[in-house]
Structure 1
Amino acid sequence: MRQVFDMDNDDFDTALVSAALTLAEERGWASVTVLAAARQAGLPLPEARRRFPLKASILLRLGRMADDVALADDMICGAVRERLFDLLMRRLDVFQQYRGGLQSVFRSLPFDPALTIMLGGATVESMRWMADAAGINANGIRGFVHVNMLVAVWTHTLRVWEKDESPDMGSTMAALDQALDKAGRFGLFPTNTDEAATQDGLADLDDVADMDAGFAAPRISAQDL
């Protein structure tokens, strides 16, 4: 007799993601499979196979879960910078729940370029949503520049978060605050003159490179693992 499994899609996905990252914390991300995570969570394998066709789907789904939490409270008032700070911290609040597992994922990325590229693309799309929700132009050439600035801010903050052992994420919040200040100096936030600007935006691409250099951190090597 076929077993009836009563769980909505969001609960199913949360259970599988949680199980997968618990396994990653215990055994390392390299040893995690969708099948093992489904068994760990007591989930039906056919549904797990359908909803998570790739192992990377686990991390992509976590990213969307973080986006959903960040965007749940659609803030339309307040300064753009403060809205953006709140949006990014809400994403990190979700990541904090899976901290140990994500640390294992980060340690594996230097050895998995395909996953790194896939997550990079997903991050760009997430930051496009964060920028748009905060009231930052994310369209056209200037939008491309803004989104890439925000990716640099997020990446820098995530590096600090990875090493931040404080329960209140104090170092992470300070790093995000400083990164947003720096991005603001490079024109991330709208000003009264933006609408009248006559620049075509191409020169701003140099600003992204300069800002990335300002956030630069040593690359992870095998000795760091």
Structure 2
Amino acid sequence: MTSTDQRQKIVEAFLQRLADGGWEALTLADVAADAGLSPAELRADYDGRLAILAEFMRRTDMAVLEAIDPEMAAEPARERLFDVLMRRLDVIAPHKTAVKKLLLAARRDPALALALNGLAVTSMRWMMVAAATDRPGLPGSCGRRALPPSGPAPWKPG
């Protein structure tokens, strides 16, 4: 397994290739070469492009979680979630072009869109944890899929 520095080089090479050429042109051989690794060394850590993307998202989540502002604890849930999401945007700002090209590719590739959805739901769960708004079960699941952090109003029969 490669070191943390090598894994970071892989993620950076991946994001640069994504920004430069888009998802369709991004090859694992190019990522390995850009990171200064052999394909075997790349394979030792990652199964493919989605695994590297998942690592980028995990690192983004970690950066947000590590920067939780304890002073926000007394704020309403909406304010805490807004603060967390703005922090997330700050973390991914240097990779704006790569993210934009990824989202454009997902519009043309349903399998990629489905995979991104799974990764996004996981990331949003962690953002809700960071904002102290995560809930178990269906309300939490719905919240992670972009419903208001306070959850839907309870349904009352007629």
> What's the TM-score, normalizing by structure 2?
0.81
Partner in structure 2 of residue 38 of structure 1 = 32
Partner in structure 2 of residue 84 of structure 1 = 81
Residue type matched to 2:94 in 1?
A: Q
> Which runs of no fewer than 5 residues in structure 2 stay unpaired?
none
Which whole-Å CA distance do the structure 1 matches of 2:138 and 2:40 have between them? 43
- 1:144-223 to structure 2, matched below 5 A, reads 144-150=141-147, 183=148, 188-189=149-150, 201=154, 203=155
Partner in structure 2 of residue 20 of structure 1 = 14
Shift of 1:99: 1.6
Partner in structure 2 of residue 69 of structure 1 = 63
RMSD between aligned alpha carbons? 2.5
Shift of 1:46: 1.9
- Poorly superposed stretches of 4+, deviation over 6 Å: none
Q: Partner of 1:31: helix, strand, or coil?
A: coil
* Equivalent residue for 2:96, pick from 99, 110, 114: 99
Q: Deviations over 1:45-103 (max 9, x none)?
A: 32211212111112211111110101013444231333222221222223211122222
More relative contact order, 1 or 2 (CA 8 Å, 6+ apart):
2
Shift of 1:25: 2.3
Q: Partner of 1:30: helix, strand, or coil?
A: coil
Q: Partner of 1:128: helix, strand, or coil?
A: helix
1:34–1:52 Cα contact (<8 Å) kept: no
1:75–1:83 Cα contact (<8 Å) kept: no
- In structure 2, relative to structure 1, the CA distance for the partners of 1:128 and 1:86 (3 Å cut) is same
**Looking at CA atoms only, which structure, 1 or 2, has the larger radius of gyration?**
1
Which whole-Å CA distance do the structure 2 matches of 1:73 and 1:93 have between them? 11
1:58 aligns with 2:55: no
Residue type matched to 2:150 in 1?
A: F
Q: Percent identity?
A: 32
Partner in structure 2 of residue 111 of structure 1 = 108
Count of matched residue positions in the alignment of Structure 1 and Structure 2: 152
Which whole-Å CA distance do the structure 2 matches of 1:34 and 1:138 have between them? 38
* Equivalent residue for 2:122, pick from 104, 110, 125: 125
Partner in structure 1 of residue 42 of structure 2 = 48
> What's the TM-score, normalizing by structure 1?
0.59
